[in-house]
Amino acid sequence: MNWFKIHYNKKSAKKHGWHPNWFAPYLTDFNNELIDEIVNFQTEHDLKPDGLVGPMTFRRILSNREYQLEFEKSKNHILVNGEKVPIDWDVKLDLIKPGAFRKYRGSRKPNMIVTHWDVCTSAEKCKRVLEARNISTHFCIDNDGVIYQFLDTNDVRWHALKVNNYSIGVDISNAYYTKYTALYELKGFRPRPVLADSRVHGVKLKPHLGYYPVQIEAYKHLIEALCKHYKIPFVVPTTNEGTLMTSVHNGAASGKFKGIVCHYHLTKRKIDCAGLELKKIIDSLY
């Protein structure tokens, strides 16, 4: 390894605040691969190809990154193993910091989509909490229905213990507690629905905040795009009577289930997403 260049780039990154993935999405560390990508970038932009992120290279990569982020935000697609998969909805790419997930070598083939709520008041705050706890999620649907993508779906995010390797995580922004109702209105949103009849693991929950209709529509579009791309069946855990199961599903908890689940299907310790009419939503997609 070229230790001098690695050391130089580490100091440069600490000083200026850049990350290896600015030069290539797959990069998470300071190594020879990063140096090669820096040289490629410098060559493409008529800079001295020395593999060092000095002031000129930093200014150019910063400008390039700002342009790319604005360009990505203006497009309706999700990032799947570095490829752009179209989706008929507003998506914003807002990649989470390196270290809160694991890069997957090769092409991942998830068989399950796990639905969560973030217990935060916005997607922005959700990302802050995730980064502070060094955990991650692939998507978060904000209060206005905009889908934020925090990770490429080929990355393994840390959200559901035993099934991380087999699943894609989708959070719906929802603070859960009714005491936050006024906060949403202060931010210019309509009163959030309150659900009073939710039952999970056989227990009736206290009234809690529900989901904005626009979030449900965004969720439908996202699920449809993911299921079609990965060939995940449009099915959910059901009882013998054909209704949505609202307790742990053994197949889902073991990672063997193929379909769409809520977090509470994986463990008795979770109740998200209580009140989400998952079967009705998925039935409407096929």
Q: How confident is the model at residue 44 (pLDDT cuts 50, 70, 90)?
A: confident
d(CA 169, CA 108): 14
**Residue 204 scores a pLDDT above 90:** yes
**Residue 277 scores a pLDDT above 80:** yes
DSSP single-letter state for residue 97: P
**Residue 73 scores a pLDDT above 80:** no
d(CA 206, CA 197): 8
Task: Strands of 118-187 (E only): list them.
Answer: 139-141, 147-149, 156-157, 167-172
Domains along the sequence of the chain with CATH: 3-72 (no CATH), 80-283 (3.40.80.10)
Highest-confidence segment of 25-34, 97-106, 228-237: 228-237
Report the percentage of the chain scoring pLDDT > 90. Answer: 67
pLDDT in tens, 78-127: 998 888 899 989 999 888 776 656 676 778 899 999 999 999 999 999 99
Task: Look at 81 and 271; give whichever has higher pLDDT.
Answer: 271
pLDDT of residue 28: 85
Count Cβ atoms below 10 Å from residue 186 Cβ, excluding itself. 8
**Residue 229 scores a pLDDT above 60:** yes
The answer to whether the beta carbons of residues 165 and 157 sit under 8 Å apart is no
pLDDT of residue 68: 67
User: In the numeric block, which tokens belong to residue 217?
Assistant: 């529509």
**Residue 31 scores a pLDDT above 80:** yes
Spatial neighbors of 157 by CB under 8 A, at least 6 apart, are: 100, 101, 135, 136, 137, 138, 150, 151, 164, 169
pLDDT in tens, 150-187: 989 998 876 676 888 889 999 999 999 999 999 999 98
**Residue 256 scores a pLDDT above 90:** yes
